[in-house]
Structure 1
Amino acid sequence: MKTTFKMLALSAATAVSLTFVSHSYAASSSFTDLTNIAAKDKIIALQEQGIVRGISETLFAPNETITAAQGIQLIVNAANLNLDLVRFLVEPKATDYFKNADDDAWYANALITASVNGVELPADLDPNKKWTREAFTHYLIRTIEAHSNLPMMNLAPVEINDEEDLTIEYSGSIQRALAYDAMKLDEQGNFRPKAEISRAEAAELIYNVLEYVKAHPAPSPQPEPETGSETNA
């Protein structure tokens, strides 16, 4: 069971906008392994925004699959989640939220950041388990939707040939990802939900959904009507 910490200014942290700060190291791409990758330009664009990194200065490893921990770090980066406005009375540990986590692992802060910012991950998450296409899609879409106030849409479900392979609780997020044009089915109309997701696929999905967010900004809040001060004599 997750431990609940008393925090100050949590609502402000969860309301952080989708702005991205470029890092100096990402001014230009030097990846040498993207030549035949269809999402090359999208990967480079995300690198320039500081959202993705390579496994080295020259290698992105587009065909390598990602673990849950790596996927969560990507989601945290994509939604620009942080702990800047959060003050803990007790310093949190990753294992306070995820029993299978390692408090000394590189991913510990990403797991804490995701949980504090409302990313709904299972408490028995295995950070080292390879993530599937359906799992990454579900958690990314849910997180981006929660932190960008996307307008509601009338959804006409797409027919997915391998729909019987989908995890039921992920199906809505996947349908919305298709509606956002963040991803497409393959030529056979399959989603391949249980296939492990590659770094290139994850990056392309992130790029596409963020482009949708930019094209569909949240509506501006309407000013409250003025109230009269007159009273009956």
Structure 2
Amino acid sequence: MKTKFKMITLSTVTALTLSFAGQSYAAITPFSDITNVEAKDKIIALQEQGLVHGISDDLFAPNATVTAAQGVQLIVKALNLNLDLVRFLVEPKATDYFKNADNDAWYANALITASVNGVVLPADLDPNKKWTREEFTHQLISTIETHSNLPQIKLVPAQINDNADLTIDYEGSIQRALAYNVVKLDEQGNFHPKAEISRAEAAVQIYNALEYIKAHPAPSPQPDPASETSSKRSPSSTSPQIPGTK
């Protein structure tokens, strides 16, 4: 969807750097409702980094379903997407991108940030719609691949027993999520793509995705042979003539 205003970017949005360094947060209250949750340690690790928050100071609500707005917020927060390098000529509104959004809602900035950073979401996105496992996984994988230089892998498609239930446009993302160990199939080899995703499941995917990215850092830029050759030339052949000097 085209925006209704012009903006000036100070740097290409796709060049935004992912930041995963933990930050210092004062007086973090441990979640009291994840004691028996299998993903407890991963949720705590994300909380300590300020990447996930609860529905209150001490409640995470691990079994609650993730809405589209919450899912976008999780992805934006985890990948440190922001508007720091963007200058708008006109203050943007969430409805400039998503007609069903509420400009005064808590999620408005997250939707704007996601859209400006190239997260592909439908223009008729319903922020309150509950997201499925395949929807969240697709958006997460698509976003990390856009914003990180992951190495190419030789993908051997996994056997997904309920593959027929997958949305065709999401199949590739789900297969890569499996290859990245972001998600796993259950004991019967099913992914359950149409099942609503819980907050705990979303947190696990976020944690696993960040671990994969940290384990596969972008390669260091290689020196340009042409530049090296140029630097070896004599000073007289390369030094520019400064006006007013001989």
Q: Please say if 1:22 is aligned against 2:7.
A: no
The answer for the alignment partner of 1:11 in structure 2 is 12
Which moved further from structure 2: 37-46 or 27-36?
Answer: 27-36
Unaligned runs of at least 5 residues, structure 1 = none
1:24 alignment partner, SS class: coil
- Structure 1 residue 85 displacement after superposition: 1.4
- Structure 1 residue 5 displacement after superposition: 2.8
The answer for the alignment partner of 1:190 in structure 2 is 190
Equivalent runs, 1:1-233 vs 2, <5 Å: 1-3=1-3, 5-11=6-12, 14-22=15-23, 24-25=25-26, 28-225=28-225, 226-228=228-230, 229=233
Letter matched to residue 227 of structure 1 = T
Letter matched to residue 148 of structure 2 = S
The 8 Å contact of residues 99 and 124 in structure 1, kept in 2 or not, is answered as yes
- Structure 1 residue 142 displacement after superposition: 0.9
The CA deviation string for residues 99-142 of structure 1, in whole angstroms up to 9 with x for no partner, is: 11111111000000000000011111111100000000000111
Residues 84 and 50 (structure 1 numbering): CA distance in 2 closer, same or farther, change over 3 Å? same
The 8 Å contact of residues 13 and 83 in structure 1, kept in 2 or not, is answered as no
The 8 Å contact of residues 14 and 118 in structure 1, kept in 2 or not, is answered as no
The CA deviation string for residues 1-21 of structure 1, in whole angstroms up to 9 with x for no partner, is: 331632221415742223345
The CA deviation string for residues 154-187 of structure 1, in whole angstroms up to 9 with x for no partner, is: 1000010010110111111111110011110011
1:74 alignment partner, SS class: helix
The CA deviation string for residues 66-117 of structure 1, in whole angstroms up to 9 with x for no partner, is: 1000000000011100011110011110000011111111100000000000
Q: How many residues align?
A: 230
Letter matched to residue 6 of structure 1 = M
Structure having the higher Rg: 2
TM, length-normalised to structure 2: 0.89
Unaligned runs of at least 5 residues, structure 2 = 238-246
Identical-pair percentage: 71
CA distance in 2, matches of 1:227, 1:8: 34
Residues 88 and 214 (structure 1 numbering): CA distance in 2 closer, same or farther, change over 3 Å? same
- Structure 1 residue 227 displacement after superposition: 2.9
CA distance in 2, matches of 1:53, 1:164: 35
Residues 43 and 109 (structure 1 numbering): CA distance in 2 closer, same or farther, change over 3 Å? same
Alignment RMSD:
1.7
Letter matched to residue 113 of structure 1 = T
CA distance in 2, matches of 1:188, 1:150: 30
Letter matched to residue 149 of structure 1 = N
CA distance in 2, matches of 1:14, 1:169: 26
